[in-house]
Structure formats: C-alpha cells, structure tokens
Amino acid sequence: MTKKSPSTAGIVLRHALGSKWFVSILAVVVAFALGAILIVMAGASVSEAYYAMFRGAIFDPEASSLQRQIKPITNSFFYAIPLIIGGLGLGFGFRAGLFNIGGQGQVIFGALAAVWVGFSLHLPPVLHTILALFAAIIAGALYAGIAGFLKARTGANEVIVTIMLNSIAGLALGYVLAQKAWQVPGSNQPQTPVVADTAAFTPLLPNPFKLHAGLIVAIIAVVVFWWILDRSTLGFEVKAVGANPDAARTAGISVGRITTITMMISGAFLGLAGANEALGTIGYVSRDVAGSIGFDAITVALLGRNKPVGTFFAGLLFGAFKAGGYVMQPKGVPIDMILILQSVIVLLIAAPALVRWLFRLPKGSEKSLRAQLAALAQTPASATAQSQASEQASAAKTFAAGTGDEAVNPTASHKEGDAQ
C-alpha cells in the first residue's frame, strides 16, 4: 500500500503549527490564561481586569476626547522604546551564542555618558543629541567589551563576568552621583542635573502625550540590527560562530575577534537604551535609572526569537503590559501580575517542548517551508520518472533473460535447426 503524499495545505499547516513563532504566541496565550486564574484567586473580575489593561495599553473608549482615547497606545510605545533597543542588544549576543547578562551595567554607563554630554556641553540642538547618543553607544560598547575580551583571551564565562560587571556598575553609579560635579548645584540629592533642551529628545506629539524621538532611534536600531546580521560579512561571521565555533574556526574565522566585537555591539545597543532614559524618559540620571531594563530585555529578546521585527513587537507587547498594568491596579489586581505574566512567558519560551506537549503540536521541520513545497512540487515528476525507469529496467531484465537462455544453451538452437 503506497503512502499518501501530503497536500500543500497540509504542509503549510504543519509548518505553521511546528514553528517557533507559533510556540511564542501560545506562550503568551497560556500566560494570559494563567493570569486569569490568579485574578480570580485574588477576588477580582477577569473581564474587568483585562478590559482595564486594554484601556491602559491600546485604546480607551471611555475617555472624553480623542486625544485621551488614543493616548494609551502611545504610552505603550513610550514604555517599549528601551525594551526594544535593549532586546536588540541582547539578541545580537544570543545570535553568536553569547549570554550577555550585563545589560543593567551597560545601560547605566550609557546613561551616564549621555547625561554628561547633555548637561555639561553647549551645542546646537541636533548635534548635541547626536553627540550624546554616540557617547552612550561608545560607553556601553566599551563596558561590554571587557566581558568579550576576557571571554576571547582567557575563556572566562561571560555570564559570570557580566553579572559581576553589573555589580561594579551599580557601585560606580552610587559613587558618581555622590560627587559634586555630577549633582545639581546647591543640592545633595544623588541626581544629576537635567540635560539641556538642545540634547533632550524632541517630543513627537504635544501634551498630554509622552512619546518622543526615542521611537525613531528604536526604529533605526532595528534597521541597523537587520543590516548587520543579514547583509554584512560581519553578520555572517557572527551567525557562523553562534552555530558552531569549531566549524567557524576551521573556515578561517577568528572566533576571539568575533566574540569581542559581538559583545561590544551588544553593549552599544544597551548603552543606547540608557541614553533613551537619560535624554528622553527621565531627563537625568538617578540611582534607579536602569530600572529593570537589562533583565526585561532578556525576555523581549527571547520572545522575539532574536530577530529584529520579532524583537520590536515583543518590546511593544511588554510596553503594553507596563502601560496597562497601572490601569489594572484600581480593579484590585496588583502590579506584580505583570511580572507573573512575563515570567510565565519566559518559562514557556525556554521550554518549547512543554508547549508542544500541552497542545500536541508537531515537531518543527528543519527544512524551510519553501524547500518543503518545492519538494512536493517535484514529487509527481519524480514518481513518473521512477515508474518509467522501473518499466525500462523490467524490460531490460526480460530481454536479458531471453538472450541469456540462448547464450547458455546455444547448441540447442542449432540442433533444432538441423532437425528441421
């Protein structure tokens, strides 16, 4: 009995159900379902809580004006900016097989560099902002480069090194903010002066909107990430090292050099995320300038599968979580619920086999959808060619059998001829 070949629709469906992106979507769905259970246990209404999240993150139909109705979606973009940029930085390291857990420290040094340029120099508006951004990029790159250099030269574990660098950055931040040169004149508060208007990000929308030009920086960062990884020789080498360092070394790629450069580029993105806080979100640097950006960006990178577009939308999702979480609180839902949702998403993404088992999903194919469809298109032609080849082989075998009898007993034919 011949096996029935799959149809085009079947291949497409199986590929979609087995893809990593579908697992990510299901992880979000499961997180919301678990969140609903916890909301019920807290004695609140699930529908009211999630409706409040919708009103705080996307659109508020109960607002009195159109401005206030669309303000929630702009807030989601506002909170998503540092997560998108930070997620790109960590995702870049992940693509090379490097786990940069030092995002917090790189954000801190990026913010310090940007704020120093912002309040100490006096330059024209656009030039001032660009210079502050470059200072943040360089500071983040150099600080992350320490871990990359140690990994390349000594084989030091980048996870341990970057965690220690986080501690050093936190202590360095406290020391810097205690210096008079970094404080507001006449104040003892551990806080830098506010950056000059010429360095601050320009608002994209008027009050009461908070969205600023950091969104443009984030979009540019997405494009740069895509170009480096998918259109440059460096990106090819980064992905080669991430896939198999030994094979990359055999192919002539300097693994140590790529390790150092990758960590520096990763830190550059995270320094840029710190600049967003110093020049746009806050406007100055205090002890909590980094917040939890460095750790939340890990979740964003994982959910976005270390891809530029995926990271952008993953950052937007977590920005929406944060914007909507503030509106959920009056409904009896603690803000910690957002942390629970994020944690569940990370857990399920880190264990895709669990999601596949829960939903009985097929295992993802190593071949691309295009390759599978191309193989399906060639199947009828291959079957016809195989059938023709089989018929020809059978005919040749029959012919050989007939001629073989004569070759084995040639005298028999001669005797038959003589008898006649």
Encode pLDDT of 238-293 as tens digits: 999 999 999 999 999 999 999 999 999 999 999 999 999 999 989 999 999 999 99
The model's confidence at residue 222, banded by pLDDT at 50, 70 and 90, is very high
pLDDT reported for residue 383? 46
Encode pLDDT of 300-325 as tens digits: 999 899 999 999 999 999 999 999 98
Name 203's bridge partners.
Answer: 212
Which sign does the torsion angle of CA 279, 285, 288, 290 carry?
positive
pLDDT reported for residue 401? 52
Rounded Cα distance between 167 and 389, Å, is 71
The model's confidence at residue 396, banded by pLDDT at 50, 70 and 90, is low
Mean of pLDDT values over 380-408: 52
pLDDT reported for residue 387? 53
Mean of the per-residue pLDDT values of the chain: 86
Rounded Cα distance between 15 and 1, Å, is 26
Phi, psi of 185 (to 5 degrees): -55, 130
**Higher-pLDDT residue of 345, 227:** 227
Which residues lie closer than 8 Å to 88 by C-beta, 6 or more apart? Answer: 221, 222, 225, 269, 301, 308, 311
Rounded Cα distance between 259 and 118, Å, is 32
Q: Which of 196-200, 251-255, 354-358 has the weakest average pLDDT?
A: 354-358
Is 412 a residue whose pLDDT tops 60?
no
CA dihedral 162, 167, 168, 173 (to 10 degrees): 120
Which of 82, 139, 19 has the alpha carbon at shortest distance from 297?
82
Is 207 a residue whose pLDDT tops 50?
yes
Phi, psi of 203 (to 5 degrees): -65, 140
pLDDT reported for residue 390? 59
What are the C-alpha distances in Å from 129 to residues 135, 280, 379? 10, 10, 59
Is 200 a residue whose pLDDT tops 90?
yes
Mean of pLDDT values over 77-100: 96
Name 212's bridge partners.
Answer: 203
| 349 and 24 Cβ atoms separated by less than 8 Å | yes
- How many CB atoms sit inside 10 A of residue 235's CB? 18
Mean of pLDDT values over 390-401: 56
Name the 3-class secondary structure at 303: helix
Question: Biggest alpha carbon distance in the chain?
Answer: 134
Rounded Cα distance between 58 and 121, Å, is 39
The model's confidence at residue 60, banded by pLDDT at 50, 70 and 90, is very high
Q: Is residue 156 packed enough to be buried (19+ CB in 10 Å), middle (13-18) or exposed (0-12)?
A: middle
**Higher-pLDDT residue of 21, 396:** 21
**Higher-pLDDT residue of 3, 12:** 12
Mean of pLDDT values over 89-107: 96
Q: Which of 115-119, 293-297, 327-331 has the weakest average pLDDT?
A: 327-331
Q: Token digits for 205?
A: 């929308």
| 23 and 361 Cβ atoms separated by less than 8 Å | yes
Which residues lie closer than 8 Å to 87 by C-beta, 6 or more apart? Answer: 297, 300, 301, 304, 311, 314, 315
CA dihedral 82, 84, 90, 93 (to 10 degrees): -130
Q: Which amino acid is at 78?
A: F
* 3-state helix/strand/coil string of 367-406: CCHHHHHHHHHHHHHHHHHHHHHHHHHHHHHHHHHHHHHH
Rounded Cα distance between 341 and 358, Å, is 18
Query: Cα 126 to chain center, whole Å?
Result: 30
| 60 and 324 Cβ atoms separated by less than 8 Å | no
pLDDT reported for residue 325? 87
Beta strands in 253-410 (DSSP E): none
Q: Which of 168-182, 205-219, 351-365 has the weakest average pLDDT?
A: 351-365
Encode pLDDT of 383-392 as tens digits: 455 555 555 5
